[in-house]
Structure 1
């Protein structure tokens, strides 16, 4: 089978996990947010990345140690900064729901996260696919804008009988989502920055497809430091350590684990697909991953009733998703050009 077909299929598969993991954030109670988030972060950013990498990357730690300190530092730094965006994502879902949060965060993360890695490629403006990438990213932003407007109009309808405070909270959630989207793009930048780690893993015997997992170990270690640090801070501040032992929390723990597994499954599989795409993998694969994830997340949101009694906004949503599909097709074509 053609390598690009396999790569594209892996990114498609990853998008399902990316578009689904957020469902767990609707099942945090009765745990405190910080307790749930600490469990989720450990599964997603430490246990799975290291466990998977150890299984398929020979001499993992030796390969990582062979890379310059500056590469490791900046890869972790981008992961740490993304961690701020990840925390804001969880907060935004509580304010605005799955649809609008995914719409804003995924769109901004996809566009910014796609453009920035271009600067890691020499003479990127002379690449034959460069015009197609720019047009594809532009269409992606338009699709996200339409989706976000649909979400805002939906909220106006659903909150028409609620207090002004509810509308204020929605606006606050949108602002949080925008900030999260910009910071979330740095995860892909960290992955691009960690390309020497991938090469080192290949030199130690890992396949091109599996070597990407070594990069995630380093990037997500920085992400975990931010997420775990903030969670532990809240546990002390709110004196909520007892939340781990609250009764009837089995479901919350289950969803924390499922969300963690799905979240890293998305990154792990995406990394394998991007590696097979070559130098432009992070540039093209990333927006495809998040664009498709946005579509999948809205399917779940529709099933959850988030678009009930909002016929016109739902039509706007479908229009936005159609533009996103067009952008994804163009980005997919750009890797052939």
Structure 2
């Protein structure tokens, strides 16, 4: 793999692993109010703003994508997978209070990275006969092993916590929610790969290859936004929490919502550029690398936040899991050099 695309994916992983920090600072906003602010900025404002700056004739690209009968099926599928991912995004927000940021990120990132790479790989022509195939499969398998180890570390940590505080454990419920989230979250990358013709169209209209991916993200994230915003509005009406937007002391929560949005779409935008530079297999190799490496970043923040305090043995197990994930990323990176 060339060095620059690798740097972009590592850089994106720092953003991806850091955005969850904002969820620790929602109060006094209600979840649905904070999340609506976050997704509006992350899925609509930032993608459009960046794409308008970096993609010439973006309006024409979008108009053609929606109006050209040959492109409409591409748009529909990209938005559909984005919509399904949106369900996973909501489940992510639900699972963190149950099992903490470390374990949630471990399960979600591992499953999303593996499935999100495997589906596009198997849809490629002659994928199984490619010399890269065994390395990619090995990398994905090792990724799942790393996720399993980190999940075990989280379970052990939770046991220590419940034994010392006599609190009721929600570990099983949280793991089930996070697992469903991981499977659905994989579909964001599937949608991105499905939207490749939109990126190609942007290239034909003057965008450089790595920036053309931003046009694809705009389409995918429209579907994601519809799901997320729709659920937020449902909760705002159901719980009658509209007043949450005006509660005193919300400035810090708004700042974190904005910062989390920048981190979240910054990760996707930079990842898209790195994947584009890798080539046709970029969405297969880059995605699990992004999520595997971001898991290391998220656990660094979780450690700083005290999630692993007085849990030395589980933390040592976590470190083993993170090492395995780094090994998986190295193998996936090496696979792109195989001809």
Scaled by the length of structure 1, what TM-score is found?
0.97
Do structure 1's residue 76 and structure 2's residue 76 form an aligned pair? no
Q: Distance in 2 between matches of 1:200 and 1:290?
A: 28
Q: Distance in 2 between matches of 1:241 and 1:49?
A: 26
Structural mapping, 1:54-203, within 5 Å:
54-67=52-65, 68-163=71-166, 166-167=168-169, 169-203=170-204
Q: Distance in 2 between matches of 1:98 and 1:286?
A: 20
Which of 10, 17, 33 in structure 2 is aligned with 1:19? 17
Where 2:2 maps in the other structure, the secondary structure is: helix
- Correspondence for 1:281: 282
The answer (yes or no) to whether the contact 2:16–2:294 under 8 Å persists in 1 is yes
Which of 5, 8, 24 in structure 2 is aligned with 1:7? 5
The answer (yes or no) to whether the contact 2:122–2:128 under 8 Å persists in 1 is no
Q: CA deviation at 1:11?
A: 0.4
Q: Distance in 1 between matches of 2:63 and 2:115?
A: 30
The answer (yes or no) to whether the contact 2:274–2:282 under 8 Å persists in 1 is yes
1:205–1:120 CA distance, 2 compared to 1 (3 A): farther
Q: What CA deviation, in whole Å up to 9, does each residue of 1:120-147 have, x standing for no partner?
A: 3211112111000000000000000000
The answer (yes or no) to whether the contact 1:64–1:200 under 8 Å persists in 2 is no
Q: Distance in 1 between matches of 2:152 and 2:63?
A: 47
Q: Distance in 2 between matches of 1:44 and 1:27?
A: 17
Q: Distance in 2 between matches of 1:153 and 1:265?
A: 33
The answer (yes or no) to whether the contact 1:121–1:279 under 8 Å persists in 2 is no
- Correspondence for 1:307: 308
Q: Distance in 2 between matches of 1:116 and 1:162?
A: 43
Q: Distance in 1 between matches of 2:291 and 2:227?
A: 22
Where 2:307 maps in the other structure, the secondary structure is: coil
- Correspondence for 1:250: 251
Q: CA deviation at 1:163?
A: 4.2
RMSD of the TM alignment (CA)?
1.0
- Correspondence for 1:34: 32
Q: What CA deviation, in whole Å up to 9, does each residue of 1:147-167 have, x standing for no partner?
A: 000000000001113446x21
Q: Distance in 1 between matches of 2:28 and 2:172?
A: 26
Q: CA deviation at 1:12?
A: 0.5
Q: Distance in 1 between matches of 2:291 and 2:95?
A: 17
Q: Distance in 2 between matches of 1:144 and 1:53?
A: 34
Q: Distance in 1 between matches of 2:150 and 2:59?
A: 43
Q: CA deviation at 1:64?
A: 2.8
Where 1:206 maps in the other structure, the secondary structure is: coil
**Structure 1: gaps (5+ residues):** none
Q: Number of residue pairs matched?
A: 333
Q: CA deviation at 1:171?
A: 1.6
Moved more, 37-46 or 299-308: 299-308
- Correspondence for 1:232: 233
Scaled by the length of structure 2, what TM-score is found?
0.97
Q: Distance in 2 between matches of 1:120 and 1:204?
A: 27
The answer (yes or no) to whether the contact 2:271–2:290 under 8 Å persists in 1 is yes
The answer (yes or no) to whether the contact 1:41–1:228 under 8 Å persists in 2 is yes
Q: Distance in 1 between matches of 2:35 and 2:262?
A: 13
Q: 4+ residue stretches of structure 1 with deviation over 4 A? A: none
